[in-house]
Structures are given as structure tokens and as C-alpha cells.
A = this chain, B = another copy of it.
Amino acid sequence: MLVSGRAMRTIWLEDDGAGVGIIDQTLLPHELVTLKLTKLDEAAHAIRSMQVRGAPLIGAAAAYGMALGMREDASDAGVESASKALLATRPTAVNLRWAIEDMRRILLPLAPMARADAAYRRAAEICDEDVAINRGIAAAGLPLIETAWARKGRQGRVNILTHCNAGWLATVDWGTALAPIYLAHERKIPLHVWVDETRPRNQGASLTAWELGQHGVPHTVIADNAGGHLMQHAQVDLCIVGTDRTTASGDVANKVGTYLKALAAYDNNVPFYVALPSPTIDWTLDDGVKQIPIEERDATEVTHIAGRADNGATMRVRLTPEHSPAANYAFDVTPARLVTGLITERGVAKASRAGLLALFPEMKEKRAGE
């Protein structure tokens, strides 16, 4: 997507054919700083410190991290230690594990001297595969926005509410929830995005608002509390959010607060869509509320917040009384009954086992074969 008018991805191979470029996302939205990673350690640090974040981007960064590792030590021991170092950065990230295992599968059978080249090639493929999936989600979701636009008699603009950041910054390019929005914008459908700030980490206020702004998509940042009021007053035509994990029955685990927006959408007859790359479907799960464990993160994400002071410095300030405890549940589960549809790279599925199996019939056989 565009940044200051220039097309960018979130991760790229530098012109020297070895270094890996990334955006330091911890400095957004106040500053755009790109970094050139040249060592395995730097890639591990970038993932650990959340300079890169978002499941698909973490996977891509880990793949390139393996490539950087192969330049330093392409022996079997080198593959092992690079895998271990990268896996330790965000141990619960599914895409991280998947990307590292995929790289190992490709690298270990090769002679050490062939490994670095193969690793760079495969990392580039992983990036391109992510972009292809997201373009598929964009194409599948576009008709939903076109329908909303037609329903309004092509008057005014389509108002779309989103939560957290499921944009291109969370992927290699295009994003998941924002992919159909970027495509609709490209197709000149007038639209406007309500961006939930998404406390406590504020990914909406910092990342989603920044990327929409850079690409020229009209948007407005709101407190997470405001969406219900907007829906009561017909200010939201549809919601599109991302998901970290989807059950075979269509329940959706996403950033905490998603469930509240889905309830408000349901109460006001606003379509509520969830965009996802099909690999994030967990075909072994049936009941998201009961079966998906919700990560509790550090309470300081609630008690403190960072922002830019008037003098340009980035400051962290305390919001709560010194002795008041805080709790920080990172995700919640939105039951399938509140989800209008799941936007996948193959099309839009009903949020149910039958709906998903209609799009992914191979999973039926797989399950039968278990």
C-alpha cells in the first residue's frame, strides 16, 4: 500500500540481496523509520520487540530470519540454533512456528552451501503467498461493500467500522480486514472507516489510522465505547474485523472488544464480517468460548500508555492510581451466531461448519480420515 505516495510492503529484500528491510512499527504513528536487518539476532529482536507484528508478518519475518541465519551458519547446527532463537521470540505465535517448520523442511535436506539461497527464495515466496491470499480476501470482500453501496442508492459513502489492526501493517501487504476496503477504495467506491482505537494497545489509533491515512482512505478514530451509539444511529453500514483464530464452527477469537461490537451490530441489523486467511481456521475446535484460551498480558498495558509529547519526545505516562490493580485480557471470542459471514481467500462463508466446509471441502475428507 502507499506511504507518502510510494508503494511499500512491510518487509522486503534490500538491493544488496542480503539485508531485510522492515518498518519499525513501534514508532508508528509518530515516526516512519525503516530498519535494515542483516543478522539473525536483529530479526529475532525485531519480532520479540514487536517492531514487526501481526501473524502473517511475523511468519514472513521469521522466514527471512532463517535466511539471515543461513548466511551466518548454514550447518545443521546453524539451522537448529536459528530455529530455536526465532521460535523463542513469540512462542505462542502460530505463524511463527509454521514458517520456521516450513523453512526447516526445505533447508535440512539441502547441502549447507545451498541453504542460504534457498532460504531467501522460500522467504520471498512466503511473502508473495501472503499477498496472494490477501488479494483473494480483497476480491471476496469487495462485493459486500458494493452491496452496501447499492443499498444506499450510491449516495453518500459506505461507513465501515473496524477494530484493532488487520491491515497491511499486520501482513506483508493489503491486510485481511482492510484488504476489501483498499480494493473498494481503488474501485472508487466512496467510503469512510470508523477506526476503534482498540485499548489497551491502541493498534487502531496508531496503526490502522496511520495506514489508512497514508493510503488516502477517509477515516475517523473513535473510542472503543462509541461503536454502539454509531450503530444505533445508522452511522455504520457494515463491520469488518480480522481474527487470530477461527473455530470450525465459525466462532472467532480476535482482539478484546470485538464481541461487544458484534453484539451491537446484531442488535442494530448491521452486517458483521470477519476476514481471515484460511490457514487460521482451527478445524479441531468447535466451541470458541469454551475451548480457546485467552492470553492475559501485562497489566502495565492498561495502567500506562505511550504517546508523543508536545516537545516531540515519546513518553510513557501512568493513567491509574498507583495501588489499583489492572487486568489485561488480550482477546475475546465472538460466537458464530453474531457473525454475518467469514471472508476468506476462496469466498465468503457462512459462519458455521457447513458454511466453511462448502468452501473447503478437502477439510471434510481430512476430518473423515482422522
Contact = CB atoms under 8 A, between A and B. Distances in A.
A260 B328 contact: no
Nearest to A209: B324
Interface string A14-52: 000000000000001110000000000000000000000
Interface string A307-320: 11110001111111
Interface in A164-193: none
Nearest to A207: B321
Nearest to A255: B225
Contact of A317 (B255, B315, B326, B327): B315
A228 B316 contact: no
Contacts of A226: 256-257, 327-329, 332
Nearest to A331: B229
B318 A308 contact: yes
Interface string A214-226: 0000011111111
Interface of A: 28-30, 195, 197-200, 202, 205-206, 209-210, 212-213, 219-230, 232-233, 255-257, 259-261, 263-264, 267, 289, 294, 302-310, 314-329, 331-333
28 contacts: A197-B199, A197-B320, A199-B223, A200-B225, A205-B302, A206-B319, A209-B320, A213-B324, A220-B326, A221-B303, A221-B320, A221-B326, A224-B225, A225-B256, A226-B332, A228-B259, A228-B260, A228-B332, A229-B329, A229-B332, A232-B332, A260-B260, A260-B261, A263-B267, A305-B305, A307-B318, A315-B317, A317-B317
